[in-house]
Structure formats: C-alpha cells, structure tokens
Structure 1
Amino acid sequence: METDPTDTVEIQNVVGAGDLEREVDLATLASDLNGADYQPSNFSGLLYQAPDHEATAMVFESGKATVTGATSTSEMRTAFEHFVTTVRDLGVSIEGSPEITVQNIVATADLDEQLNLSPVAIGLGLEQTEYEPEQFPGLVYRLDSPTVVVLLFGSGKLVVAGATERTTLETAVATVAEQLADLSLLAD
C-alpha cells in the first residue's frame, strides 16, 4: 500500500435525528414552506431541502426529525438549525433549541489495490462476513471493534457505515487494512 488508507476516508452522508418536541401539522406546513415535499399517500413525513443546503430534513407529525445528505456533522447541524429557524419564521412555536444527534456516518475509502474477495471472506471469518457475488459484488464485513459494517469491493474500495464520528471511520479502515495485511491479502 503506497497510500495510508485512512487518508482516503471521505464522508458521503451524515444522518442526524432530532425532535421539535411538539406535534406538527404537516399539511399546513407543506403549504407554507417553499420547497417542501409532502405526499402522505407515499410517505408519512415532510421533506425539505433548503436551496443553499445539500442536506434534506424530514419531519413527521410527532415532531421527530431526521437530516440526511450532509457530508459533515457541522453541515448536518447547520441544515437542522436552518430548518428549525425556517419553521419558526412560519409561525410554528418551537421551544428552546432542539438538539440533533449523529445517528450514522457513511464514508468511502480506498485500499489502493485489488482484492480477491473469496480468500478475504475466509480470512476475515465466515461468521463475520457475507459474500455472495451472485447477489451483490461486495463483501459485507461486520467488525466487532469498532462496531461498524464495512463493504469491501474487488477494486479495493471500501464503504463504512454505522459510525458516529470520523475517528471511528478511520479506525475501522485501519483495522481492515491491518487485518488484510496480517493475512497476506494486501501488500505491506
């Protein structure tokens, strides 16, 4: 490996969950909120993406909210704060400062070399891996520590899901690279 794979970690999606701590009339909100998408026959939540944000906020009648599509935790928090401010500006009473917490971060990384996934599945342990190339081209590897799921592809690309911090993503990538090197499935 010429490049440290932890240097290739790139966050693709940060998902956060929050609560407005009040019920929300989604039909009324949808009619007042420019850019809202509310189709209750298809999905019970209201979707909102501000024109200047990549992330999308989803809110449900219960007031529970989710933000998805951000590429950093700060972007996710900013999108949520913008949504709360926009809803308040429309006259919806929201007490205090609703908090949002990171639920999942999905990232990609690159081991910078091809992998033969059949020996990888055996080496990493069949009880922790799923590899059915007829169904899906990647190997699913469930790490115990850190507790994340890593998808490994023959190209050497990885997708890591289930983390709530960047350091966890980097630890997972380093762990996989080290395990593969220890099994002589990667060049040192």
Structure 2
Amino acid sequence: MFLLVLVVVFLEKKEYTIVNLVAVSNLGANLDLFNIAVSIPSVEYEPEQFPGAIMRLSEPKMTITLFKNGKINCAGAQKESDIPKGIINTCKLLKDITPDIKIPTNPQYKIVNLVANAQLDLKVDLFNLATKLDNVEYEPEQFPGAIVRLYNPKISLLLFKNGKMICAGAKSEQEIVDSIARIKKLLK
C-alpha cells in the first residue's frame, strides 16, 4: 500500500518591503578624510559643509559616511546581509590609504533604523484618525498623509488614505511587524 503524504507549506507573505536599512560601525582606525577623498573617486568630502566624507559603493549599492575617528554610517541597504558586505568592501577600498585598517571577516555593526513600505489593504479616513488619536498629525493642505507616532518602540508611520504606509525608526523587522499590527488595531 502506498501512502501519499502531501505537505503544503504556506509561506507567510510579508506585509512590508524594506527600502532602507541604516547601520553604524567602527573601522578601528583614524581616517585621513582628505587623502581618502583625493585617492578614491567615489568619495566626496567638503569639510566646511559636513565633517564626514561620503563614499558611494556600487556593490552592494549603499552609501557609507566616513568620520575621522573611524566610525561609519551605512545607509541604503535593502537587506541586512548587505551591511557586512558593505563594511568589508569599504575596508578593502581604504586599506591602501589607511594601513591600520583591518579587513574583518565578520564585521560588527548595529542597525539604527529600518524604513519599510507597507500596504494595509484598506482605505483610511485620515481626518477621523487625527481627531480620534493624540499621536497623529494631519494637515492635508501641507502633506497628503498623516504622521502617526508610536511609542515603545519609537516608530513613525506615514499613513495615506489609500492604505499605503511608510514605517521609519524601527530597529528590527519584528518592530515593523508589530507596528503594522498596532496601526491595524487602531484603525478598526
């Protein structure tokens, strides 16, 4: 006798798409930003306007802000696995100019901001939302969306009447999931 077992796995579809991931790290060496800007074409440095140098990476596509003390900000990644790749590629580019830099095999970093887009699949009465809740700013003459500020964790949501939403300030994907659940509950 044959026993046919059919296993169906339903993958939960994400309700959101990460559009920007921001992380911070430390290269462990002081940086000569002027020399770096002169040596690497993809680096912009204008110290009279901003104290850091801006490096644009093509692989992975992201922007690295370099500071003299070796601290860096990584922005523009769309998945977390791009962050260590970006740090390693930055170290490789800087190694010839700054010999003190070590190329890490497992770079240390901290995610400080996730930005995600979401579709709530419902129409939202923004005026009603703004009058019902204290933590909502809605001025349709100035901006077509409502700004909803959530606390614990501190996350800002831009909510539009067609149900589209931008979530900013999350430190993890779980915080994004939780904020979507919280706003859905508030909208009921």
Q: TM-score range by the shorter chain?
A: 0.7 to 0.9
Q: Which runs of 5+ in 2 are unaligned?
A: 1-12
1:99: which partner in 2? 108
Measure, in 2, the Cα distance between the counterparts of 1:95 and 1:83. 11
Measure, in 2, the Cα distance between the counterparts of 1:90 and 1:16. 24
* Paired AA for residue 109 in structure 1: A
2:82: which partner in 1? 75
Shift of 1:40: 2.2
Measure, in 1, the Cα distance between the counterparts of 2:92 and 2:109. 14
Equivalent position to 1:155, from 132, 155, 162? 162
Shift of 1:91: 4.0
Measure, in 2, the Cα distance between the counterparts of 1:146 and 1:38. 35
Q: Are positions 1:56 and 2:35 aligned together?
A: no
Q: Aligned-residue CA RMSD in angstroms?
A: 1.9
Kept after mapping to 1: 8 A contact 2:124/2:162: yes
Number of equivalenced pairs: 174
Q: Give 3-state SS (helix, strand or coil) of 2:81's partner.
A: helix
Counterparts of 1:10-49 in structure 2, within 5 Å, are 10-49=17-56
TM-score if structure 1 supplies the norm length? 0.84
Larger radius of gyration: 2
Kept after mapping to 1: 8 A contact 2:129/2:136: no
Kept after mapping to 2: 8 A contact 1:105/1:161: yes
Provide the identity percentage. Answer: 29
Counterparts of 1:115-126 in structure 2, within 5 Å, are 115-123=124-132, 125-126=133-134
TM-score if structure 2 supplies the norm length? 0.84
2:122: which partner in 1? 113
Question: Which is strand-richer, 1 or 2?
Answer: 2
Deviations 1:90-149 (A, max 9, x none): 3431257452210100001011222120101223x12x1111222222111111244311
Q: Give 3-state SS (helix, strand or coil) of 1:49's partner.
A: strand
Question: Whose RCO is larger (CA < 8 A, sep 6+)?
Answer: 1
2:93: which partner in 1? 86
2:142: which partner in 1? 135
Kept after mapping to 2: 8 A contact 1:146/1:171: no
Kept after mapping to 1: 8 A contact 2:138/2:147: yes
Measure, in 1, the Cα distance between the counterparts of 2:24 and 2:60. 17
Measure, in 1, the Cα distance between the counterparts of 2:67 and 2:98. 17
